[in-house]
Structure 1
Amino acid sequence: MIFIVILLIFLGIFLKISDSTLNLWFWSRVSRKTEASHYRGKVVWIVGASSGIGEDVALRLARFSPLLILSARRTELLEAVAEKCRAVNGACQVKILPFDMIDYAKMEEKTRAADQMFDRKVDIVILNAGRSQRAEWTEIEPSVDVDCFQINAIGPTQVARTLLKIRGLHPTGDKHDDLQFVVISSVAGLLPAILSPSYAAAKAALMQYFRLLAVEMGEKGVKVSIICPSHVYAPNMLKSAFTSTPGTEHGEIISAPRAAQMTPDRAAELISLAAVHRIHECVIASTPSVIASIYFFANFPGIFAKIINFVGAQRLRKIRSAHE
């Protein structure tokens, strides 16, 4: 009984002071590994770097003088982010590689270009591209599901698959390579995310793809870190979000940070630290209830479902919108 009380006290303190799951919180404090030593001089390819979390990760990493490759569809936005990176650190070398992740016909060409851009192979790939959703479960048309999976699951997976193929890496092969994939998923891939059925399912699929990659290729030197952010402030995050209807966007612009949203610079720092310490999988969230829910849902899914039903759908919609 005393042990349980002590454990609950420890858990309460941890949830109060931490904005990540225990593994990242612990290793970022006890390990001697640093961001500078992990990134300096390495080629880092960020896919989905034109705005939001991807932009902030690029600005974070620029401090440590890596060789940065920035990819997304819009050239002008990539050029703006590249200039910001150079302003952060003039010694940071930055190149852009405009790239539509679901243009599979050009996937090999673009991946080869990235792997040769600095006359040396890519060391770290950060897969951040994605697109959120706001829609009711019963109203979604099948083509929206397909499009959402293409962007949030299949595209990032195909980038990794193509890179491994052009390097001749295979689970049953003899070749080894020191390559790290940093996958930005979402808490929506771990918990039932109301108003985001297609997005949540796609992010869950993304995580399973890369969990399996870590199992199959870990002995070949391929490392995988999966980071699941909760609410992170980005003004245009919901502007282009999928709805239930093909070709339409949610359109909402978030004019100011909401109470449950993590600052983008803190999110970038935690993502960077998760990569440095090669955390296999972690959650980052500014609200203790999210981290507590992750642990509880993983161990007691039936009880969690009953609690969710008690809380009610309207309350969950409000939470999902990060109003609290």
Structure 2
Amino acid sequence: MVLCLIGLAVVCYGILYAIFLYVLDCDLELAFYEKFGKPISRLRGKVVFITGASSGIGENTAIALAKHGVKLVLAARRKAELERVKQNCIACSNGKLAENDVLVLPMDMLDFDSHEKNFNLAVQHFGRVDVLLNNAGRSQRANWENIEMRVHKEMFDLNVFSVLNLSSIAIKYFNTVGSGHIAVTSSVTGVLPLPFSATYIGSKHALHGYFNSLRNEKLTTDLRLAVTLLCPGPTFTNFLQESYTDTVGQKYGIPTQNTDRRMTGERCGELCAIAIANETHESWMGLFPMMPLLYLFVYFPIIGRIIMKVVGPNNLFRFRDSKDISLSEKQS
């Protein structure tokens, strides 16, 4: 009788799990925190430094934080776009933020020598930095064997090494004040290695290795350091159009369309802000069927491999980009 009850409980749990994954656009932990966790407003008055803040997920996360009175450092190459984002953040804050509460820092992440100077400018302006959100980066669409070695190097410089350099500067600062928070925009492909983006996916897996190691390294130190990996799925941004290919200097050039099945930038930014407020370790975001696929591939890898083989790489590619075109068709 007891075994029957246990079996029934397991079945009911599995059914509820499946239902939740069907209706949710994020993992179960993040969904729980959205309803019952710490609100974004707990970050009011804190200073969040965001790279890649001139568009996309960085811009939308900045706006989501600004609505709750979070002070912002907006960093990217395009000053005019940063000024636009700044004014949007101030307007969305409904009086919680003034001009001096949002600092614009024109900054090229590939200019490693400028990182410390810009981080110090933020500290001087606000007297503190509480959170570093490493968001700058680019994606890729390419066949594995055709990727030029310089593409691998350029993408790792941007997606990995620039992030490590700025983060090490931030951590040294956090060491002096006793606490801090490093957040990194990874991707669902940092968890699920989808085809035709080998360099990009390799860079995201590298981020998981580096920052999971960092979190574990600081567990028993005096520094109270939170480390959050943000893993969005397909989102309405210019990310796809600006993607690397297999050739240096070339962009993928296919924009997103209103008919694509993607999470809105606004929703993605809100979920990122919730994850930061609750200091999650790793948060997944994406529209159905992204969440069930992630859970299957991570927790049931044999089933995941079978699905990968049955569905096939070209169909997975079309699903990921919401485009009825294969990479070989696009390149021809």
- TM-score, structure 2 as length reference: 0.89
CA distance in 1 between counterparts of 2:11 and 2:68 reads: 43
Aligned to 2:230: 227
CA distance in 2 between counterparts of 1:74 and 1:27 reads: 34
Aligned to 2:317: 317
CA distance in 1 between counterparts of 2:304 and 2:255 reads: 32
Instruction: Name the SS of the counterpart of 1:181 in structure 2.
Output: strand
- The change in CA–CA distance for 1:301 and 1:222 in structure 2 (over 3 A counts) is same
Render the CA deviation track for 1:182-231: whole Å, top value 9, x for unaligned: 21110011111212110001011112111111112244111111110011
Unaligned runs of 5+ in 2: 1-6, 325-332
Aligned to 2:72: 68
CA distance in 2 between counterparts of 1:143 and 1:42 reads: 39
CA distance in 2 between counterparts of 1:91 and 1:14 reads: 35
Aligned to 2:280: 279
Paired residue for 1:24, among 27, 30, 47? 30
Paired letter, 2:129? V
Render the CA deviation track for 1:255-283: whole Å, top value 9, x for unaligned: 32512x01111111111111111111110
- The change in CA–CA distance for 1:133 and 1:141 in structure 2 (over 3 A counts) is same
Aligned to 1:88: 92
Render the CA deviation track for 1:77-99: whole Å, top value 9, x for unaligned: 11111111122124312110111
Paired residue for 1:129, among 125, 136, 151? 136
- The change in CA–CA distance for 1:107 and 1:140 in structure 2 (over 3 A counts) is same
CA distance in 2 between counterparts of 1:240 and 1:280 reads: 28
- The change in CA–CA distance for 1:200 and 1:9 in structure 2 (over 3 A counts) is same
Aligned to 2:145: 138
2:43 is the alignment partner of 1:35: no
CA distance in 2 between counterparts of 1:257 and 1:49 reads: 26
CA distance in 1 between counterparts of 2:246 and 2:116 reads: 32
Paired residue for 1:111, among 89, 107, 119? 119
CA distance in 1 between counterparts of 2:174 and 2:265 reads: 36
Aligned to 1:172: none
Q: How does 1:115-194 map to 2 (within 5 A)?
A: 115-118=123-126, 120-165=127-172, 167=173, 169=175, 177-194=178-195
Paired letter, 1:132? S
Displacement after TM superposition at 1:323 (Å): 4.0
Contact 2:22 2:292 in 1 (8 A): no
Aligned to 2:14: 8
CA distance in 2 between counterparts of 1:176 and 1:75 reads: 30
Instruction: Name the SS of the counterpart of 1:243 in structure 2.
Output: coil
Aligned to 1:295: 295
- The change in CA–CA distance for 1:106 and 1:314 in structure 2 (over 3 A counts) is same
CA distance in 2 between counterparts of 1:62 and 1:4 reads: 42
Paired letter, 2:213? L
Instruction: Name the SS of the counterpart of 1:97 in structure 2.
Output: strand
Displacement after TM superposition at 1:303 (Å): 3.3
Instruction: Name the SS of the counterpart of 2:106 in structure 1.
Output: coil
Paired letter, 2:71? L
Contact 2:103 2:122 in 1 (8 A): no
CA distance in 2 between counterparts of 1:323 and 1:233 reads: 13
Pairwise CA RMSD of aligned residues? 1.7
CA distance in 1 between counterparts of 2:162 and 2:142 reads: 22
CA distance in 1 between counterparts of 2:300 and 2:254 reads: 35
Aligned to 1:53: 57
CA distance in 2 between counterparts of 1:197 and 1:115 reads: 37
Displacement after TM superposition at 1:168 (Å): 7.3
Aligned to 2:254: 252
Unaligned runs of 5+ in 1: 170-174
Aligned to 1:102: 110
Count of residue pairs brought into register by the alignment: 312
CA distance in 2 between counterparts of 1:210 and 1:313 reads: 29
Paired letter, 1:34? P
Instruction: Name the SS of the counterpart of 1:183 in structure 2.
Output: strand
Aligned to 1:196: 197
Instruction: Name the SS of the counterpart of 1:179 in structure 2.
Output: strand
Contact 1:177 1:221 in 2 (8 A): yes
CA distance in 2 between counterparts of 1:81 and 1:244 reads: 32
- TM-score, structure 1 as length reference: 0.91
Aligned to 2:307: 307
